């Protein structure tokens, strides 16, 4: 007879406890709901909306991060974005920067190029992919900087899509920057009006503006502004190198991924040299004053003008990059860097006799040693030697030197790779092997965007490489469960990761050639 009373008493107590706890539970639930990532996100300038893609990934394309660099803002440091009212749809890429119309050439099919339109001087937009369910998640962030020789490129290239990386837990950002004459034009009058006593590095200043936007806004997308990795390939990798060296980029990122490109070997143009080139260019354009230069239509300027490259302007870059690193003044970041086996970009191939003669003319007493590392006993051997020498001079020696400097200073870890996978191909594309840019679809798990006869080994390598890249962005170390161990690059062992069908670690295979090349071309 007493059991029902006890049961009712227990039920009453449970109900009472639930009632007492409900306000607290409601408050926590409301807080979690408030932190949930909505489609509409408030960013600098106003509110934006995005779109949802597969597996719960949201993408926001064409977010303005600075004012349009047109009219009076042509060749000026990026200015604050112009605010907008209402909700701005960000569902399509913003225009690519002014450049020639893209067309496949050499080893680069359409998947490696920007879309044909839109292309505009109004180009300072970025994109965000995120799988975060809450704005409080603090996911690692990768900011992608494209290549293109500082004269082409943009974020709407298919192999730069960020969905796959977002699915792996990264908030992926890609940003546009000015290229060619719009991004790298110095002139004495521009230097005078700048208030910085500098001109020329506008494309790099765009990158800084984009990184500042990330610091101010990425938490709204579930990203962690204190865990940002900058990544780039070719001119994008050179940009990463510049940003690591620049005092303007201090505290904007923690880690760097540099794929095939740096600026350690050749001296950069000085501001005075770049200004002189600018004066000569203005003369050729029949526009000697800034007013006339800024009044030129963008299409005419693109057609007749010529771009340059990063310079030592005294503002973004206070000195040559090698000197900044040697003085210990570069931003201290963990580094993942490397280059590809077949990315030499040499011009016309000389026969064996002419190649040997070239070495004798350019390197005199070092010519015989050159031929030990880059042999030319016959025309076929000479062709391979020239391709390898081109690879090493343009890319390999740059990233190798950076890795050596960082390893020697010992402030932050460095991890080095060599991408040797012969990218599957048909027709003319077969001859390019592990070509320049060939690793990008693997590193960001975007093989699906490239029309090649992929094999199971390629999909395995893409999963492995993207896993390394995500781990590095997360914790500054590419290693993780299920991945072959990638050793820290140290001196004198110089062990690297060979990225191929069966990735292996080994001592860098051609270190003797690279060491000789450094002594022959830099120290002398």
Write out 154-219 in H/E/C secondary structure: CCCCHHHCCHHHHHCCCEEEEECCCCHHHHCCCCHHHHHHCCCCCCCCHHHHHHHHHHHHHHHHHH
> Are the C-beta atoms of residues 229 and 173 closer than 8 Å to each other?
no
Q: How confident is the model at residue 5 (pLDDT cuts 50, 70, 90)?
A: very low
Which of the residues 96, 152, 234, 466 is marked catalytic? Answer: 234
Predicted local distance difference test score (pLDDT) of residue 346: 65
The single-letter DSSP state of residue 66 is: S
Of 290, 269, 119, residue with least CA distance to 200: 269
pLDDT at 301 over 80: yes
Predicted local distance difference test score (pLDDT) of residue 61: 98
The answer to whether the Cα torsion of 440, 446, 452, 457 is positive or negative is positive
Domain segments of the chain: what residues? 36-347+411-510
Which of the residues 121, 163, 187, 436 is marked catalytic? Answer: 436
Which of the residues 343, 390, 439, 466 is marked catalytic? Answer: 343
Rounded to 5 degrees, φ, ψ at 108 are -100, 105
> Are the C-beta atoms of residues 373 and 513 closer than 8 Å to each other?
yes
Lowest mean pLDDT among 25-29, 327-331, 385-389, 409-413: 25-29
Predicted local distance difference test score (pLDDT) of residue 523: 60
Provide the phi-psi class of 222: left if phi over 0, else alpha when psi is between -120 and 50, else beta. left
- The whole-model pTM stands at 0.92
pLDDT at 375 over 50: yes
Q: What is the pLDDT of residues 232-273, one digit of tens each?
A: 999 999 999 999 999 999 999 999 999 999 999 888 999 999
CATH class of 36-347+411-510: alpha beta
Predicted local distance difference test score (pLDDT) of residue 266: 84
343 is catalytic: yes
Predicted local distance difference test score (pLDDT) of residue 269: 95
Of 158, 133, 120, 172, residue with least CA distance to 36: 133
* Percent of the chain whose predicted confidence (pLDDT) is above 70: 93
Relative to beta strand 171-175, strand 125-130 is antiparallel
> Could you tell me the two tokens for 499?
């990225």
Burial class (CB in 10 A: 0-12, 13-18, 19+), 120: middle
> Are the C-beta atoms of residues 394 and 344 closer than 8 Å to each other?
yes
Cα separation, 204 vs 126, in Å, equals 15
Burial class (CB in 10 A: 0-12, 13-18, 19+), 345: middle
234 is catalytic: yes
Predicted local distance difference test score (pLDDT) of residue 25: 31
Q: What is the mean pLDDT of residues 102-110?
A: 95
Task: Name the β-bridge partners of 335.
Answer: 256, 414
> Are the C-beta atoms of residues 470 and 478 closer than 8 Å to each other?
no
Rounded to 5 degrees, φ, ψ at 415 are -125, 130
Rounded to 5 degrees, φ, ψ at 255 are -140, 160
Q: How confident is the model at residue 433 (pLDDT cuts 50, 70, 90)?
A: very high
pLDDT at 21 over 50: no
Cα separation, 243 vs 207, in Å, equals 8
Q: What is the pLDDT of residues 329-361, one digit of tens each?
A: 999 999 999 999 999 876 789 999 999 999 999
As a whole number of Å, the CA-based R_g of the chain is 26
Of 473, 524, 472, residue with least CA distance to 497: 472
The answer to whether the Cα torsion of 107, 478, 403, 255 is positive or negative is positive
346 is catalytic: no
Predicted local distance difference test score (pLDDT) of residue 24: 36
Q: What is the mean pLDDT of residues 66-93?
A: 98
> Are the C-beta atoms of residues 468 and 483 closer than 8 Å to each other?
yes
pLDDT at 77 over 90: yes
């Amino acid at each position: 007879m007493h059991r029902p009373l006890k049961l009712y008493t227990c039920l009453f107590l449970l109900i009472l406890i639930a009632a007492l706890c409900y306000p607290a539970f409601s408050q926590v639930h409301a807080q979690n709901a408030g932190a949930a990532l909505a489609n509409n996100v408030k960013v600098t300038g106003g509110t934006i909306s995005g779109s949802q893609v597969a597996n719960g990934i949201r993408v926001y394309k064409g977010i303005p991060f600075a004012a349009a660099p047109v009219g009076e803002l042509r060749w000026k440091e990026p200015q604050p974005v112009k605010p907008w009212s209402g909700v701005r749809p960000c569902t399509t890429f913003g225009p690519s920067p002014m450049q020639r119309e893209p067309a496949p050439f050499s080893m680069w099919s359409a998947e490696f190029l920007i879309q044909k339109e839109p292309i505009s001087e109004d180009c300072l937009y970025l994109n965000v992919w995120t799988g975060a369910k809450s704005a409080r998640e603090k996911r690692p962030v990768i900011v992608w900087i494209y290549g293109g020789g500082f004269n082409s490129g943009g974020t709407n290239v298919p192999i730069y899509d960020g969905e796959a990386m977002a699915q792996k837990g990264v908030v992926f950002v890609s940003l546009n920057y000015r290229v060619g004459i719009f991004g790298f034009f110095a002139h004495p009058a521009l230097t005078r009006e700048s208030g910085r006593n500098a001109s020329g590095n506008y494309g790099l200043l765009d990158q800084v503006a984009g990184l500042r936007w990330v610091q101010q806004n990425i938490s709204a997308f579930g990203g962690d502004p204190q865990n940002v990795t900058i990544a780039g390939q070719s001119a994008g990798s050179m940009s990463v190198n510049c940003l690591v060296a620049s005092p303007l980029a201090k505290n904007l990122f923690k880690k760097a991924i540099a794929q095939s490109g740096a600026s350690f070997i050749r001296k950069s143009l000085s501001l005075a040299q770049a200004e002189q080139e600018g004066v000569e260019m203005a003369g050729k354009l029949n526009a000697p004053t800034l007013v006339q230069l800024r009044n030129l239509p963008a299409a005419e300027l693109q057609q007749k003008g010529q771009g340059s490259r990063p310079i030592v302007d005294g503002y973004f870059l206070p000195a040559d990059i090698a000197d900044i690193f040697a003085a210990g003044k570069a931003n201290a970041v963990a580094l993942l860097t490397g280059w590809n086996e077949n990315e030499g970009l040499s011009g016309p191939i000389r026969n064996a006799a002419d190649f040997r003669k070239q070495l004798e003319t350019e390197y005199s007493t070092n010519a015989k040693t050159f031929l030990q590392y880059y042999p030319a006993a016959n025309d076929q051997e000479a062709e391979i030697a020239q391709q390898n020498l081109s690879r090493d001079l343009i890319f390999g020696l740059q990233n190798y030197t950076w890795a050596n400097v960082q390893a020697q200073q010992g402030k932050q870890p460095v991890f080095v790779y060599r991408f040797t996978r012969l990218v599957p191909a048909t027709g003319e594309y077969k001859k390019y092997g592990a070509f320049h840019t060939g690793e990008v679809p693997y590193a960001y798990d975007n093989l699906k965007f490239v029309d090649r006869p992929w094999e199971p080994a390629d999909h395995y390598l893409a999963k492995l490489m993207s896993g390394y890249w995500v781990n590095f962005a997360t914790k500054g170390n590419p290693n993780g469960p299920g991945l072959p161990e990638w050793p820290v690059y140290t001196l004198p062992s110089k062990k690297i990761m060979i990225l191929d069908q069966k990735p292996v670690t080994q001592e860098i295979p051609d270190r003797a050639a690279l060491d000789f090349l450094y002594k022959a071309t830099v120290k002398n």
